[in-house]
């Protein structure tokens, strides 16, 4: 029988401490990131590694999180959507950050968020290396959702960085009621379009789509339903990034009792590939994801 190297109890304990510290840094940075948004609703000068032009707010949040997370003793690597390369910060866990997901929502002043993925492996890591994930939502209030130790928790973050759990053991509601599907409709593939028409025809389902993936996923986590940024005719891999969006969102929704998929398999089983590679993303209640996979398989 092959023997896998198990972490020692000291390593496990120190990983737990580091994860707590990482979540603390992200929560405490949230009010500062939020306060820094008003003057940074303009485009930065350089494109990011995915060829998109970030807002100045993306860069601001990235620099703050890189410095503070990188300063933690137990963090060995930092990567973000805004950087081509992984930053070596010592030895320990690896963190991947989407500093401001949905930053095109800055101009119309809609919800956006910060996404965090923590891996116990060098980057790019596999879904099975994930040890915690979280996101902050800058909505009407600032909230943070964490998935760690098989539990999803929602916190409210105050202006001074203090945060308090407001919902423990968060699970997806059993009766789904919302859906949100990204990408240009003419670029959807036919089986997906047919699936969407079926979902829309259910009188208990309502459209909730804001254009910030993490805000739209939070609607699903709150009310039950399905979010997708699907395969597109010209971009079979969709738009969202595996390391920064696909894995953490899959991890959070699955920990909350839902399902995630790339159309065929759990997002957590998607090949890790390059740091900035992409995947179609489908997350939500189990029954809706099962029906979706069956529809795409036809
Ligand atoms: P944004 O470009 O505004 O940062 O991956 C980023 C993302 O937003 C997601 O949050 C969102 O779901 C998607 O892109 C929206 O992209 P399109 O408007 O290009 O469909």
Give distance in angstroms: CA of 271 to centre of ligand 1: 22
Is residue 277 included in any domain, yes or no?
yes
DSSP string for 225-271: EEEEE--BSS-TT-SSBIIIIIHHHHHHHHHTT-EEESSSS-GGGS-
Backbone angles phi, psi at 177, to 5 degrees: -140, -5
Kindly state whether residues 246 and 225 are assigned to the same domain: yes
Kindly state whether residues 27 and 138 are assigned to the same domain: yes
Atom of ligand 1 nearest to the CA of 216: 12
As given in the structure block, the two tokens for residue 23 are: 């979540």
Contact 77, 94 (CB under 8 A): yes
Residue positions forming the annotated binding site? 81, 98, 100-104, 209, 239, 245
- Pairwise CA distance, residues 108 & 106, whole Å: 6
Give distance in angstroms: CA of 74 to centre of ligand 1: 31
Is residue 172 included in any domain, yes or no?
no
Kindly state whether residues 138 and 205 are assigned to the same domain: no
Is residue 4 included in any domain, yes or no?
no
Kindly state whether residues 117 and 16 are assigned to the same domain: yes
Is residue 157 included in any domain, yes or no?
yes
Give distance in angstroms: CA of 212 to centre of ligand 1: 6
Give distance in angstroms: CA of 107 to centre of ligand 1: 13
Kindly state whether residues 114 and 209 are assigned to the same domain: no
Kindly state whether residues 59 and 137 are assigned to the same domain: yes
Give distance in angstroms: CA of 210 to centre of ligand 1: 10
CATH number at residue 36: 3.30.540.10
List the domain range (segments joined by +) for residue 88: 9-167
Kindly state whether residues 58 and 145 are assigned to the same domain: yes
Kindly state whether residues 222 and 283 are assigned to the same domain: yes
Q: Which of 41, 181, 211, 241 to mutate to test the pocket of ligand 1 (most atoms within 8 A of CB)?
A: 211
Instruction: Please report the pLDDT score of residue 1 as a whole number.
Output: 37
CA-nearest residue for atom 17, ligand 1, is: 183
CA-nearest residue for atom 15, ligand 1, is: 211
Cβ neighbours of residue 111 closer than 8 Å, sequence gap 6 or more: 102, 105, 137, 138, 139, 210, 212, 214, 215, 218
Atom of ligand 1 nearest to the CA of 241: 5
In the three-class reduction of DSSP (H, G, I as helix; E, B as strand; rest coil), residue 274 is classed as coil
Kindly state whether residues 131 and 15 are assigned to the same domain: yes
Cβ neighbours of residue 179 closer than 8 Å, sequence gap 6 or more: 196, 199, 200, 205, 206, 207, 208, 225, 226, 227, 284
Instruction: Please report the pLDDT score of residue 283 as a whole number.
Output: 99
pTM: 0.94
Give distance in angstroms: CA of 205 to centre of ligand 1: 23
Give distance in angstroms: CA of 213 to centre of ligand 1: 6
Q: Which of 212, 248, 278 to mutate to test the pocket of ligand 1 (most atoms within 8 A of CB)?
A: 212
Kindly state whether residues 25 and 110 are assigned to the same domain: yes
Contact 112, 106 (CB under 8 A): yes
Total domains present in the chain: 2
Helix segments in the chain, DSSP class H: 9-35, 56-70, 190-200, 213-223, 247-255, 286-297
Instruction: Please report the pLDDT score of residue 44 as a whole number.
Output: 77
Atom of ligand 1 nearest to the CA of 214: 10
Is residue 221 included in any domain, yes or no?
yes
Instruction: Please report the pLDDT score of residue 10 as a whole number.
Output: 61
Instruction: Please report the pLDDT score of residue 291 as a whole number.
Output: 98
Q: Which of 101, 242, 276 to mutate to test the pocket of ligand 1 (most atoms within 8 A of CB)?
A: 101
The order of strands in the sheet holding 178-181 is 206-207, 178-181, 225-229, 281-284, 259-261
Kindly state whether residues 161 and 244 are assigned to the same domain: no
User: Where do we find the tokens 């919902």?
Assistant: 167
Q: Which of 129, 146, 167 is a domain's end point?
A: 167
Kindly state whether residues 160 and 183 are assigned to the same domain: no
Contact 243, 123 (CB under 8 A): yes
Residues touching ligand 1 (Cβ under 6 Å) are 101-104, 182-183, 211-213, 229, 239-240
Instruction: Please report the pLDDT score of residue 3 as a whole number.
Output: 42
Spell out the per-residue pLDDT of the chain, length 298, in tens. Answer: 344 454 555 665 599 999 999 999 999 999 999 999 988 777 777 888 877 888 889 999 999 999 999 999 999 999 999 999 999 999 999 999 999 999 889 989 999 999 999 999 999 999 999 999 999 999 999 999 999 999 999 999 999 999 999 999 999 999 999 999 999 999 999 999 999 999 999 999 999 999 999 999 999 999 999 999 999 999 999 999 999 999 999 999 999 999 999 999 999 999 999 999 999 999 999 999 999 999 999 8
């Amino acid at each position: 029988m092959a023997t896998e190297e198990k972490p020692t109890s000291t390593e496990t304990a120190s990983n737990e401490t580091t994860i707590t510290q990482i979540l603390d840094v992200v929560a405490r940075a949230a009010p500062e990131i939020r306060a820094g948004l008003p003057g940074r609703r303009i485009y930065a000068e350089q494109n990011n590694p995915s060829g998109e032009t970030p807002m100045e707010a993306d860069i601001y949040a990235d620099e703050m999180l890189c410095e503070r997370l990188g300063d933690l003793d137990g963090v060995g690597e930092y990567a973000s959507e805004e950087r081509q390369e992984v930053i070596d910060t010592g030895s320990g866990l690896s963190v991947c950050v989407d500093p401001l997901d949905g930053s095109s929502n800055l101009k119309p002043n809609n919800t956006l968020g910060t996404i965090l993925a923590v891996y116990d492996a060098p980057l790019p890591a596999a879904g099975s290396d994930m040890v915690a994930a979280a996101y902050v939502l800058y909505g009407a209030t600032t909230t943070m959702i964490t998935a760690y130790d098989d539990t999803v928790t929602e916190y409210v973050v105050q202006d001074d960085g203090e945060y308090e759990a407001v919902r423990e053991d968060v699970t997806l509601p059993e009766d789904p009621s919302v859906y949100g599907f990204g990408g240009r409709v003419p670029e959807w593939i036919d089986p997906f379009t047919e699936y969407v028409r079926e979902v829309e025809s259910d009188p208990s389902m309502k459209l909730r789509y804001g254009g910030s993936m993490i805000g739209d996923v939070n609607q699903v986590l709150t009310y039950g339903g399905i979010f997708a940024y699907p395969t597109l005719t010209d971009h079979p891999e969709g738009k969202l990034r595996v390391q920064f969006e696909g894995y953490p969102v899959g991890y959070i929704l699955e920990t909350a009792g839902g399902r995630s998929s790339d159309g065929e398999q759990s997002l957590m089983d998607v090949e890790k590939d390059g740091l900035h590679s992409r995947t179609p993303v489908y997350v939500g209640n189990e029954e809706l994801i099962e029906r979706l996979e069956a529809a795409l398989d036809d």
